Copies of this chain bind each other. A is one copy, B any other.
Amino acid sequence: MPDLFVKNDSVSPTGSLKDRSFAIAVSKAKELGVSQAFTYSSGNAGISLAAYASRARMKAVVAVNAWASAQKILMMQALGAEVIKLDWDSFEQVDKALAVLRGELRLYEFVNFVNPFRHEGQKTYAYEICEQLGWQVPDYMIHPIGTGGGIFATWKGFNELKRVGVIKKTPRMIGVQPAACAPLVDAFLRGSREAVPTGDAKATIAQSIASDMPFDRGRRPLRAVYESDGAMVAVTDEQIVASILMLGQEGIYSEPAGAATIAGAQMLVRQGVIEPGATVVCVVTGSGLKQPDVLQGMLKEPVAFKADSVELVEHVKGLFGDKKAFSH
């Protein structure tokens, strides 16, 4: 695939694509006079809100799942947010809790789809990708999908660019979910425009897209896929790990959710859905540093040598093999 491109958001300020949406959403909140920021997040969104709210001198409270990673919680706290853990049996309980907080405390919420400005930041994907391709439009855009805010916003961006005449066509939008937890893929395969809760969010390494209970039944991300004549595909954790290592060969350290797009591209080419000559953009949504332990036990343990041992020299020799130090 000579025209496979990676849009690399692992280099965002807090290490994930969420910075696009919070840069705009927090700026807009500031303009509206908001001084209290609240969101519910499994990790990346809470970290991004913490960073931008601190810069905007806004008090931020982030509610996380009871099983959120200690490292992500520490990052939110270091960035100035108050963190509380939510324990729940069904997502309806969370919805209700958020409604109560909204109603009783009149909190300004940054939850995706609830806060309308998040998409306005997130859609800059479409602008930047077109600009970076010399105002050409890719044939396919591949997004990892949790709640589906990313693919929905990017689709919005492409449509707006087309409406104002900057581009002539729009890409086919492809959504990728982890096989263990793929309610939107299930809906797509059924030909449905509404997803139902299914799968187990804790059964995949792709933390930031592990969402077994789709917000609003996944209607808006599914619409993006159907309207664009796109597709949805599920990938296994094994395929995701292989894709992390492929991206590594290009110098990019991706979180599992980001690498899922590469695994998805491979599957769809094999299935004949994507032609190998197509222009494809894979969105790498976050840094592997966000889940530093994900490869633990999957790669071979480095061999240890005494610095003054003969074995060290022999081993290094073996690693380089017959390859000469200089090619000329």
Contact = CB atoms under 8 A, between A and B. Distances in A.
Report, as a range, how many residues of chain A touch the other chain: 35 or more
A292 B71 contact: yes
A96 interface: yes
Contacts of A61: 316, 319-320
A32 B293 CA distance: 37
A323 B248 CA distance: 46
A287 B287 CA distance: 11
Contact of A316 (B14, B15, B84, B292): B84
A306 B84 CA distance: 11
Given A87-B306, A105-B325, A304-B84, A287 B288 contact: no
A206 to B, nearest CB: 16
A83 B107 CA distance: 50
A191 interface: no
Interface stretch (A49-57, A111-119, A140-148, A156-164): A49-57
A216 B101 CA distance: 61
Chain A interface helix/strand/loop/mixed: mixed
B328 A59 contact: no
A133 interface: no
A174 interface: no
A78 B294 CA distance: 11
A101 B311 CA distance: 11
A240 to B, nearest CB: 12
A245 interface: yes
Contacts of A51: 251-253
Given A80-B248, A306-B87, A107 B325 contact: yes
Interface string A148-177: 000000000000000000000000000000
A304 B71 contact: no
A131 to B, nearest CB: 20
5 contacts: A51-B253, A79-B251, A84-B303, A101-B316, A105-B325
